[in-house]
Structure 1
C-alpha cells in the first residue's frame, strides 16, 4: 500500500491503547528488516531516519527504498524524519516523499522553541504532512545531540499545554518525562505522574523517546498513559552490528558478504518483532488508519 501518515496512524494507536514502533533505520537492509518484521506481525510501523543517515545516503535513495517496500506491504508504513533542527532538511524530506518530520527545538528557550517549531509546523501543514515537536531536555545521546543525565529537564505541564495549543494539529508531541536516549546507565526514572498530567490536558498522541532498555512493565504503563509512538534506535543499531559480528565469530573463515547481510537482517527483524509484541501493535494493521 502507499505510505501512511503519522497523524492518522497514531490517533488509531492512541484510541486503541497500543503504540507503534518507530525504528531508526541505517540502510536498505535495515529498512527491509523493519518492514518485513512488521508484515510478519501484521502491525503498523514507522520508519524514521536521523539527519546524519539522510546526509550519508541522500533524500531520494532512502525515499525510493521505503516507498518500494511499503508498496508491497499490507501494513501501514510511515516515513518519518527524527530529531532535526534544520528547516532545509525538513523541506528536503517533504519534497522527497516523507510523510512526517520532526523539528527539535528542545535546546532553545521556551518562547524560541515555540516560534521555531511554528515555522516547521507551517511548512508541514502546507505540505499536508505531520510534524513532531519536542519540549524539555531528554537525556542521553542521539546522533550528534548529547544531554547529560544531570542536565535533563522534565517538560513543564503548563508549557506543554501552551506549546500544543499553538500547534493543535501536531502529529505527535515529545515531552521529556524521564526516559533517555542510548543505553540506560541505571534504573530509568520515569515521571509517570507528569506524563499522566500532560496527557490529561493534551489530546495529541505522545512520542516516547529512549525506548531501548525499558522493561515490559515500563512500556505498558507509558503506553496506557498515552504514548502512541515508541522510538527504538540504539537497540536496532546494536543488532545491525551484532548480526555481522556474531557470524564472524562463528565462521571466522567465511569471506562471502551475503551470509553476513542475511545474518544482520535476521538479527534486526527479530528485534523488530519483539518490540511490536511488547507495544501491543501486533495484529493491529487492519484497525490502524493510514490517512
Structure 2
C-alpha cells in the first residue's frame, strides 16, 4: 500500500496493543531488509532516516526508494524524519513527502525547545505526525552526540506537550543512542512520564536495550522504539565477513542479498522483542 500517515501508524499500534519499531534506513539494502521483516510479522512500522544519513541521496531519493518498495506491501508504514535538528530540515522532509517528522531541539533551553517545536507543528498538516523531544538522550548516533544528556522532567511534560501539540514525545529515561549494551530503562521515571503525558511516548536507542526491557515498554504507553545501530552493524558485518572469507570477492549482488537477509533477521527479532504477544 502507499505510505500512510504517522498518525495512522500510531492509532493502529495503540488500538492493537503494539509497539511500532522505527528502523533507520540509509540505502537500498537496508530498506529491503526492513520491509522483508515487516511483511513477515505484519505489524505497523516507521521507516526513518536521520539528516546525517541523506548526505549521498537527499530526502527525495529516500522517499522514492521506500514508497516504491512499499507499493506492493500490505503493511501500513510511515516514512519518518529522525532527529530533525532545525526547522529547515523539517521543511525539507515535508517537501519530500515524508508522512511523519521529528523536531529535536532538546539541547536548547526548555522555553526555546518548546517554541521551536511548536513552530514545527504549524508546518505539519493534521495527517503528519510530529514527534518532539523533552530531555536530551545521551550517546552517539553517526558519531554525533549531545553536548549533555538530561533525563526527562515529568513536571515539564504536560506543559510541553500542550504547548507543542505533538503526537509523540521522545524521552530520556536511561535509554542511550547507539549500541550501548549497559543502557537500562529507569521504569520508575518512565512511569512518572507516562502519567504526565497525554500523548504516546518514544524510546530511542533500542539497539542497546535488553529484550526483557523492550518487552515491557507497551505497559508504559510507548508507541515507537527506534533501532538503527543493529541494522547498520548487520550490513557492515556481512560485507566484512565476505571480504575476510574471500579478499577477491567480486559478486556485489550476492553479498548485497546476504546483507538484506541479515538486516531482515535483525529487524524481525527486534519487532518480536517489542511485541512478545505477536505470534
Distance 1:143 1:132 in 2: 20
* DSSP 3-state at the match of 1:145: coil
Aligned to 1:166: 163
Aligned residues: 279
The structure showing larger relative contact order (alpha-carbon pairs under 8 Å, at least 6 residues apart) is 1
Q: Is the 8 A contact 1:18 1:224 kept in 2?
A: no
Q: In structure 1, what is the Cα distance between the partners aligned to 2:14 and 2:200?
A: 6
Stretches of structure 2 that go unaligned for 5 or more consecutive residues are none
State the Cα distance separating 1:25 from its structure 2 match. Answer: 0.5
Q: Indicate conservation of the 8 Å contact 1:3/1:76, yes or no.
A: yes
In the alignment, which residue of structure 1 is the partner of 2:240?
A: 245
1:33 maps onto 2:25 in alignment: no
Alpha carbons of structure 1 residues 131 and 281: separation in structure 2 relative to 1, 3 Å: farther
Q: Does 1:184 align with 2:183?
A: no
Deviates more, 1:217-226 or 1:244-253: 244-253
Separation in structure 2 between the aligned mates of residue 130 and residue 144 of structure 1, nearest angstrom: 27
Q: Does structure 2 conserve the Cα–Cα contact (< 8 Å) formed by 1:220 and 1:279?
A: yes
The whole-number CA distance in structure 2 between the counterparts of 1:139 and 1:119 is 25
Equivalents in 2 of 1:200, 1:49: separation in Å?
Answer: 30
- State the SS of the aligned residue for 1:57: coil
From 185, 193, 197, give the equivalent of 1:198: 193
Partner of 2:145: 146
User: Which residue of structure 2 aligns with residue 77 of structure 1?
Assistant: 77
1:101 counterpart residue number: 101
Q: Return the offset for 1:189.
A: 3.7
**Does the 8 A contact of 1:59 with 1:96 survive in 2?**
yes
- TM-score calculated relative to the size of structure 1: 0.90
Greater shift, 71-80 or 188-197, is seen at: 188-197
- Residue 7 of structure 1 corresponds to which residue in structure 2? 7
Contact 2:217 2:274 in 1 (8 A): no
Equivalence map 1:214-253=2 (5 Å): 214-253=209-248
2:152 corresponds to: 155
Q: What is the root-mean-square deviation in Å for CA atoms of aligned residues?
A: 1.9
Question: Whole-Å Cα distance in 1 between the matches of residues 48 and 180 of structure 2?
Answer: 22
Q: What do the CA deviations read for 1:108-144 (whole angstroms, capped 9, x no partner)?
A: 0000000010111110136x41111001111100236
Alignment match, 1:120: 120
Once residues 167 and 152 of structure 1 are traced to their aligned partners in structure 2, the CA distance between those partners, rounded to angstroms, is 21
Q: Structure 2: how far apart are the matches of 1:222 and 1:234?
A: 20
Are the aligned partners of 1:42 and 1:283 in contact in 2 as well (CA < 8 Å)? no
Q: Could you tell me which runs of 5 or more consecutive residues in structure 1 were left unpaired when the two chains were aligned.
A: 285-291
| Deviation for aligned residue 1:158 | 1.4
How far apart, in 2, do the equivalents of 1:246 and 1:145 lie? 27
The answer to whether the 8 A contact 1:42-1:282 is kept is no
Quick one: distance in 2 between partners of 1:263 and 1:54? 23
Report the counterpart of residue 63 of structure 1 in structure 2.
63
Alignment of 1:262 onto 2:257: yes
